[in-house]
């Protein structure tokens, strides 16, 4: 009888907690430096949540170790809804497949909702001798091992997306890793490297200025940030090629479900507003949202998919 009463009391306290949540400021840990995509997206959505819920959403940057430092802080925090994570595909979906990390993202975090998807674009030098994706593929396939592709680093999201495309399109090419997207794209512009698959945010200005040309984006739908670029799945005739870097909100495992559901509903309301969508476009991102359960399933799928890409391509990095 006492045990039943205790369980009922706990359930009632959680329900009351969720109903009044938040009643004080909410801290959002961003495991990246200021100005990075996850930082910008989390801040924009956080402003909306503050206005909608009547409490400050205070952003705190904790960069380092590829995002794992800040992610671990949240994973070890109290599951009360007052410490959240600006989660992203790097430390959540990719790193667990490449190196040892001090947390298990599928066990130590409670997904809330996506907030953004960042599409990538396949780009080549302006004078590349192909005018569309199918001509590009025909040329590269006819010269196995001759062409190179750049990425912002071994194991980076750009590397993953390119390896997946190369595999699905049956391209035999040579990877040239760089320390960041800027030097990688500089050499693509200069013709030292044949192509790259990099973020729309990084490539957009070069495409618009004519320094690079693009044959399409990595998502199954066109991106608002680069509306003239077709999906590569169609343009290159690579059915099923549909990838984007993702950004979302998560909490420590054990956070009451009512709080997670409430936050997800508020995020969905926020990302549907025209002004927020408009703010994402120049950042090369599209708004996104889903439920905690949908995000949890997505995280499992993404971790499995990156694991398969890494295995198939034999990608390894120094720990």
- At residue 7, the pLDDT reads 47
Same fold, 2-115+245-313 and 120-235: yes
- At residue 319, the pLDDT reads 53
Mean pLDDT value across residues 228-232: 97
Give me 167's structure tokens: 């595999």
Whether the pLDDT of residue 14 is over 60: the answer is no
Q: Of all residues in the chain, what percent carry a pLDDT higher than 70? A: 94
Q: To 5 degrees, how large is the angle CA 246–CA 103–CA 303? A: 40
24-38: pLDDT as tens digits: 999 999 999 999 999
The torsion angle over the Cα atoms of residues 158, 159, 161 and 164, rounded to 10 degrees, is 170
Q: What kind of fold does domain 2-115+245-313 have according to CATH?
A: D-Maltodextrin-Binding Protein; domain 2 (3.40.190)
Mean pLDDT value across residues 122-131: 97
Measured CA to CA, the distance from residue 249 to residue 247 in angstroms comes to 7
- At residue 19, the pLDDT reads 73
**Residues 111 and 74 sit within 8 Å (Cβ to Cβ):** no
Tell me the whole-structure pTM to 2 decimals.
0.90
50-96: pLDDT as tens digits: 999 999 999 999 999 999 999 999 999 999 999 999 999 999 999 99
Mean pLDDT value across residues 298-318: 92
The torsion angle over the Cα atoms of residues 182, 185, 189 and 194, rounded to 10 degrees, is 160
Instruction: State the chain's mean pLDDT as an integer.
Output: 94
- At residue 243, the pLDDT reads 96
Whether the pLDDT of residue 274 is over 70: the answer is yes
Return the domain boundaries, the chain.
2-115+245-313, 120-235
Measured CA to CA, the distance from residue 178 to residue 158 in angstroms comes to 11
202-228: pLDDT as tens digits: 999 999 999 999 999 999 999 998 999
Any idea which architecture 120-235 has in CATH?
3-Layer(aba) Sandwich (3.40)
């Amino acid at each position: 009888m006492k045990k039943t009463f205790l369980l009922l009391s706990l359930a009632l306290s959680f329900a009351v907690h969720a109903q009044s949540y938040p009643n004080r400021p909410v801290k959002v840990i961003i495991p990246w430096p200021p100005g990075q995509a996850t930082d910008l997206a989390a801040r924009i959505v956080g402003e909306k949540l503050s206005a909608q819920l009547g409490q400050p959403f205070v952003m705190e940057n904790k960069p380092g170790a590829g995002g794992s430092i800040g992610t671990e802080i949240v994973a070890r925090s109290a599951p009360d809804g007052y410490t959240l994570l600006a989660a992203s595909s790097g430390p959540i979906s990719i790193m667990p497949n490449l190196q040892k990390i001090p947390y298990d993202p599928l066990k130590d975090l409670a997904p809330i909702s996506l907030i953004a998807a960042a599409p990538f674009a396949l780009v080549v030098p302006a004078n590349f001798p192909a005018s569309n994706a199918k001509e590009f593929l025909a040329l590269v396939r006819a010269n196995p091992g001759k062409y190179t592709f750049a990425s912002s680093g071994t194991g980076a999201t750009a590397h993953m997306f390119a390896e997946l495309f190369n595999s699905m399109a049956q391209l035999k090419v040579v990877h040239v890793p760089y320390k960041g997207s800027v030097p990688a794209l500089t050499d693509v512009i200069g013709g030292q490297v044949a192509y790259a698959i990099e973020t729309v945010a990084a490539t957009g200005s070069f495409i618009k200025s004519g320094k690079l040309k693009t044959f399409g984006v990595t998502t199954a739908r066109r991106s608002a940030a680069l509306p003239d670029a077709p999906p590569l799945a169609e343009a290159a005739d690579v059915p099923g090629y549909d990838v984007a870097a993702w950004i979302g909100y998560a909490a420590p495992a054990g956070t009451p479900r009512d709080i997670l559901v409430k936050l997800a509903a508020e995020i969905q309301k926020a990302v549907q507003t025209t002004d927020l969508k408009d703010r994402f476009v120049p950042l090369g991102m599209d708004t996104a949202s889903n439920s905690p359960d949908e995000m949890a399933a997505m995280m499992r799928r993404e971790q499995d998919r990156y694991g398969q890409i890494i295995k198939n391509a034999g990608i390894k990095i120094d720990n």
